Amino acid sequence: MIRRLFKFCVATAMLGGLLYAGTDSFSRQWRDFIVGQMAERGLHLDFEGLLLNPFGGLIARDVRVFTGADRQHVLASVDRLNLDFDYGKLMEKKFVVEGLELSHASVSLPVDDSAGGQTVIAVEDLSARAFLREGVLEVRQAQGTLSGIRLSLTGLLTLPEKKVDDPPKPKVDSLSVAHQMQVLNAHHRRIQRGLDWLQRFKFDVAPQLRLEVNGALDRPLELSARLFFETRGLRYDTYVCQELVAEAEYNAGLIDLTRLYLKDPTGQVNASATWRMGTPELRFQLTSSADLPGMAQAFLNSDNLREIVFYGTPHLALNGVWHVDGPLAQSKRPVQATGRLDCGRFSTSGAVFDGLEANIGVAPEGVYVRDLVLKHETGTLTAQALSHEVEGFKYRAVLRMDPNAFMPFAKLKQTRELISRFQCNPESSIYFEVEGAGPKPDLQVCLNKGRGDLRNLRYRGVDLEQLQADVEFQGPIMHFRNAKVRREEGVGEVAHVHVNDAVGEKWVRLEGIRAGIDPVAVTSCFAPKVAEQIAKYRLPMTTAVEMDGVIYYREGSKSDFEVKFKHPTGTGRYSLWGDDFIIGSPEGELVFKGLDMKFNIRGSLFGEALSAKGSVDVAPGTNDFDVVVNAGEFPYEIFGKKVPFEKVVADVSSKGGTTSFDIRSSLMGGAFSLKGSMDETKLPQPYKGELRLDGVSFRRFAQVYSETNDTEGDITGHFRFAGRQNDWMALKGGGAAIIVNGNLYAVPILGPLTPILGSVLPGQIKGYNVAKEANCTFEVADGYAVTNNFEALTSVFKIAMGGKIDFIRDAVDLTAQVRIRGLPGLVFLPFSELLEYRGTGSISKTNWKSNLLSGNKKATDRAPPSEENMEAAERIAGESLPAKKEEPKRPASMFNRPGGR
């Protein structure tokens, strides 16, 4: 019974104790006592409530730890803290805390941002034990989670000593406290920035952070610490880091990053750094063979290297200072470092390079690159460059590679167009030395000057053995001076080419171009459209060419320039009507005024003087021109034979697709003219015109077609016509012809008839073969020339002929009647039927037979002209037909009897 009573009393006491420990009275009574005891030991804290732990010790809730006794600045906040104390000393009315314990607690460190706001660094699920013994706070294996990082913390901290005979505490130096707070808050901000930066990455395994801290708690700036950070499987976008290890030491304000090791699939990074806290400079060393584009994107948040693909391992070495504080820390480049970059084959923007090496330097005021060597399969680029914030950008470079390798990097259209003009081959040699300066590292805004020597290449499709020039360019403005162009046939020199490719300008000024090489080639280098005009003459490759003036290649209406060419001994070729005509000693001038090109071409043709003057509208889509050609001799093929035209004057013009021509010449002692027009807007091209002959030597004309013809007299006539180009069947028209004092033996077609007449007519009739006059009118249609009134008069008889000539198939079908004039005609009148003949065969070999013997055999199997086409031919002939002579009525014959041919 007594035993039960004792247990009840103990339980009642314990329950009463617990109830009392949970009352506000217990919390207030012990709160001040505990806060005071901890302050005496150098730990300044406060809490909202205090509970008795049934398993031992006390639990403080919502604990705040302060930086000093003034309790103005919170160092950390804890949701709950276990206090272990010595129960024996508690019985002696002495409260001595022996240890502190955190179990899955939350700890937060306040951070004041630059905008005046406040955030916290939160450590979750923190479990730790700390022991207070003889003025020392020992932290054993504190573990928690800091922004996804597994944190492990150990340390040994000396607490402030308290002496009994200490004098009264002096007033706290507010400036010293404020400085400490600034330093601590700066630490917190750096930790926060580091944690925010780590949030960009994904981890296959949670990172591990081990931290060991030692030193005096009342002198936080003199603490020492060791840090070890390790993680695997770090990822950012496409970049993968297989392993990342960092080891660092802190000793009285000196941070020493003894090792930073990073490994990725490409290579690894090794780095170290030291920093004295409070100083503006952090010194570092770094070597890397890792994925530079991926690292730049992941760690520097820069995409500048993203398009670079390395086929080999790039090596980077840097040594310098990083400005972490002070004015320089706010610059674009808070770094002052030197280093070297070496890499093998890589590609970027579609261009593949064989390697790159360079010494580099970086400073807040600028960047320099020394001894840069960029390798390409076609050669190298070497360069020195400096980009300075005050002095601007300067560089010097030597290009020994195909400039087309830089095509992907050309931002401006005009730059790409300029580069594309060069086509290199394995035999090409390029040397271009250039230097420039400007406000920023952009060649488009720099003033660039240099000298180029290029060999065995093509420029604008023109093969060149050598191209030399002094070059100056800035943005859209380019100058080429003292240029020399060498080809197999000779050398060309250029005093100055000024190019303005600015918006609204687009022109080239040519000064002093003098060349003795292929005129088409040299002109193509500067004025391709002009070269097209010169190419028509196929001049010798050693023709001397001069060019001066301004060419507007976008607005040709503003152009004003002149081209001269001359070759005293050579020959050119000009194609006309399908034939090549050789021009001796060609020379000329092409003068461009806006869209109008005036030309004056001179030389010799067939051994006689030749000149061509006129103008051409060079506007796109037009073919308008005017030209007057004077040629001493111009043989032209007519019906398969070359007819010798002399003193030719051809006035030809074209406007709106209609070409008009007026050609005059001397022809075999007489005159020739041809006028007409052609419509080039239709296919096949229709034409119309009128041809005239005046006093042309009949003998010389006949001998063109038959050298044995021997006759006298001359021929006069005209022919008005219309047709379609290259379509003889479409030719229609009509005209008249007169032969005076001609030998009938020599007259084509009639020649073979005169011997027959000689065998029939009396021998006493002399001079019958001399025709005082032969004339006719004719129509042309469907490939036939048709006449019904050809008459040849001699002193004693008249030949009347009619029928058709197939000039396409060279076939004739004619009927002729011989009539004796005067008294002998009455004698031969009964025999008139015997003097009627039919001619068949070809024009040059007409076969005549008596009409009584020839029968009705067809001379050709082709259909004769239709009545409709014959009427059309007569309409075309129109009023140009000469008036018909009144003839005396004659007896019925083959021309007027019914059914006669």
Q: What is the pLDDT of residues 765-804, one digit of tens each?
A: 445 556 678 889 999 999 999 999 988 887 777 888 999 9
pLDDT of 236 strictly over 70:
yes
Model confidence at 269, in pLDDT bands (50, 70, 90)? very high
Position with higher pLDDT, 286 vs 78 = 286
Among the residue ranges 341-350, 576-585, 661-670, the one predicted with the least confidence is: 576-585
The answer to whether the beta carbons of residues 220 and 243 sit under 8 Å apart is: no
Position with higher pLDDT, 29 vs 402 = 402
Q: Is the dihedral of CA 822, 884, 781, 576 positive or negative?
A: positive
pLDDT of 387 strictly over 90:
yes
Three-class SS of residue 877?
Answer: helix
Q: What local confidence, expressed as pLDDT, does residue 418 receive?
A: 79
Percent of the chain at pLDDT exceeding 90: 33
Q: What local confidence, expressed as pLDDT, does residue 770 receive?
A: 60
What is the β-pairing status of strands 477-487 and 379-388? unpaired
Among the residue ranges 159-168, 423-432, 753-762, the one predicted with the least confidence is: 159-168
- How does pLDDT run across 335-381, given as a tens digit for each residue? 999 999 999 998 888 889 999 999 999 999 999 999 999 999 999 99
What is the β-pairing status of strands 49-52 and 58-66? antiparallel
Among the residue ranges 62-71, 263-272, 677-686, the one predicted with the least confidence is: 62-71
Three-class SS of residue 436?
Answer: strand
- How does pLDDT run across 469-521, given as a tens digit for each residue? 999 999 889 999 999 999 988 899 999 999 998 888 889 999 999 988 888 88
pLDDT of 568 strictly over 60:
yes
The answer to whether the beta carbons of residues 792 and 776 sit under 8 Å apart is: no
Cα distances (angstroms) measured from residue 747 to each of 246, 427, 637: 117, 69, 20
Cα distances (angstroms) measured from residue 270 to each of 46, 284, 343: 46, 11, 17
One-letter amino acid of 354:
D
Among the residue ranges 562-576, 717-731, 738-752, 850-864, the one predicted with the least confidence is: 850-864
Q: Tell me the backbone φ, ψ of residue 758, rounded to 5 degrees.
A: -60, -30
Q: Tell me the backbone φ, ψ of residue 575, rounded to 5 degrees.
A: -90, 130
- Residues in CB range of 642: below 8 A, 6 or more apart: 635, 636, 704
Q: What local confidence, expressed as pLDDT, does residue 375 receive?
A: 94
Model confidence at 577, in pLDDT bands (50, 70, 90)? low
Decide: residue 520, CB within 10 A, 0-12 exposed, 13-18 middle, 19+ buried: buried
Position with higher pLDDT, 49 vs 268 = 268
Mean pLDDT of the chain: 81
Model confidence at 632, in pLDDT bands (50, 70, 90)? very high
pTM, two decimal places: 0.68
Beta bridge partners of 605: 583, 608
Residue pointed to by tokens 């009118």: 777
Chain centroid to CA 132: 77
Return the structure tokens found at 656.
Answer: 């709106």
Three-class SS of residue 92?
Answer: coil
Three-class SS of residue 283?
Answer: strand
Q: What local confidence, expressed as pLDDT, does residue 289 receive?
A: 92
DSSP type of residue 350: T
pLDDT of 533 strictly over 70:
yes
User: What's the Rg (C-alpha) of the chain?
Assistant: 56
Position with higher pLDDT, 887 vs 802 = 802
Model confidence at 719, in pLDDT bands (50, 70, 90)? very high
Position with higher pLDDT, 826 vs 393 = 393
Model confidence at 407, in pLDDT bands (50, 70, 90)? confident
The answer to whether the beta carbons of residues 859 and 844 sit under 8 Å apart is: no
Model confidence at 826, in pLDDT bands (50, 70, 90)? very low
pLDDT of 889 strictly over 50:
no
Mean pLDDT value across residues 90-94: 55
Model confidence at 8, in pLDDT bands (50, 70, 90)? very low
Model confidence at 686, in pLDDT bands (50, 70, 90)? very high
